[in-house]
Structure formats: structure tokens, C-alpha cells
Amino acid sequence: MSQDFQIAMLWVEGPLSYMEQLCAVSFRDAGHAVRLYHYGPVANVPEGIELADGRQVLDPQTFLTHGRTGSPALFSDVFRYHLLRQGDRVIWADTDAYCLRPFDSETGHFFGWESEKHINGGVLGLPADSPALDALLHMTRDEYAIPDWYTAKERAPLEARAAAGDPVHVADMPWGVWGPHAITHYLQKTGEAQYALPVHGLYPVPFLHRRKMGFASKRARIEGFIKPDTYSVHFYGRRIKRFLAGMGGLPETGSYIHHLLDKHGIDPAAAPLPRYEDAPGAD
């Protein structure tokens, strides 16, 4: 039964907005137990969502953030790998993943292609003895490790800086280096990529079309991307929230996101989006 899989999420601290609420309750309403890990106080947690101390999984000395964006994605990457090593019948889901139908897996592998090049880890299930998971945990122990999938040309400047005593920290490497790039590489290297769902399985709405989810006139276009065997829709949370903030903080009435909020009884006014100074037109 798919409901045997627990869904695990992470929210370091602070209030949930209606977007995170929507994603969490989508799994709850699909029949999954949902556990939301956190490190500080969290507000606006929907009924039926279990809170758990993140230190049960990983007690960090520091919270790694991406240098250019300030996003906690790097820490989130490491957290999910440790979680999956410890967990049994657990599937990780980012707080911007909306569940359309219950998740299930016979092998414990549950992930999908986001594009022709990358498998995303926004939804990630791996058995505890996965060779790819071993490799991900090993890589992320060294914050200055040069990715072993880099070409000689890409490695050369990084090796030169390391030799000069000034190695490049992961926070200053390209976005996704510990996430989709590493996941794709190691799943392909171990052969576990064979379990990846097609693009429409977990990431049916292309990144370039994400804003259409907030417009009523584009709802049919968005629903056209979704197929009967689609499990989830990815909202690209940080970007869609900035965009919606520029629209006054709410999706248009009749839009795809508005439809889902209404379906699950989420009141946006009770859990507003954070303010973004650069929200108008922001990405």
C-alpha cells in the first residue's frame, strides 16, 4: 500500500505560507503520513502534519547555504540523504511538491527526470542500501570536493585553487551541485537511474511555464501537462512565491493554484507569503 510510505519534509524554521501548507496537506489528503522536520519554531502547521526535531536526523554545526541565492538547498540536500539512510519506507518531498496521487514503489526507489539531462531530488526515495545513496553521503562529507563528473577543463581551475591553498567551497559552486547534478551522476553510475520516472511523472509543468500556474487563463494549459500517471507537480517554490508576491500575494481566482487551494480548504489569508523587496517581476 502506498500509504505505508511516510512522506518527510524539512522546514528549518519560521511560519509556513499557504504554498507549503498546500503541499503538505496534499500528501495528507492522499493518505500518507507526513512528518515535517524543523530546527526552530514553526507556525501555521496544518492539522494532521507531524512535527519532528531535525536533529534526530542531522545535527549540523552550521547550516550550509548557497552563496549566490542564500537558499538552504545545500543543507536540505545533505539532510535528505541522511534521512533516507536512516529511514524505512520513507520518501522525501520538498515543500513545493504537490501530490496528485499516492506515492508507491516496490523497490524503494522513487524519483524522476526533470529534463532530458537531470533527475531531480525534489521527490526522492532510495533504499537505505542504495549504492548511489552511499556515494551521495560520501561526497557531501567534503565541502570542498571537486565533483568527479566534471570534465578535465572544468576541474583544472578548481584543482589549481586547491593546490594554491584556496579551494572552492560548495556554496560557491553552480546551483544543484549536491542536488540534481550529483543525484543524476551517481544514479546513472550505479544503474539505479533505470527506476526514474519520465518527466511527466513528477515534474510535468516545465520550469519555463511555472508562472502560468498563477493565471486563470492558463489553467487548461497547465492541466494539459498532467497525465493519468502523473504523481506530483513541482511548484518551484522560491521562484513562484516571489512571482505571486509581485501579483499581490495571491494567484488569480480560477488559476491552477487557486483551484488546488480551494480543493484542500487552504485559506491564503491565514498563511500569507513572505514579503520580497524585489517581488515585482522577480524570478
Q: Where are the domains of the chain?
A: 2-270
| CA nearest to 86, candidates 95, 78, 96, 98 | 78
pLDDT at 2: 44
Query: Does the predicted TM-score (pTM) go above 0.75?
Result: yes
What mean pLDDT is predicted for residues 21-33? 98
Would you list the DSSP string of 200-241?
HHH--S-GGGGGGGG-GGGHHHHHHH--TT--EEE--HHHHH
pLDDT at 63 over 70: no
pLDDT at 171: 84
Please report which confidence band the pLDDT of residue 282 belongs to, taking 50, 70 and 90 as the band edges: very low
Q: 171 to each of 28, 62, 135, 142, 168, how far by Cα in Å?
A: 34, 13, 19, 12, 8
The pLDDT tens digits of the residues spanning 124-149 come to 999 999 999 999 999 999 888 899 89
pLDDT at 64: 61
pLDDT at 205: 98
Average pLDDT over the chain, rounded to an integer: 91
pLDDT at 70 over 80: no
Do the beta carbons of residue 44 and residue 21 sit within 8 Å?
yes
pLDDT at 251: 97
pLDDT at 92: 98
How many CA atoms lie within 13 Å of 16's alpha carbon, on the beta-carbon side? 26
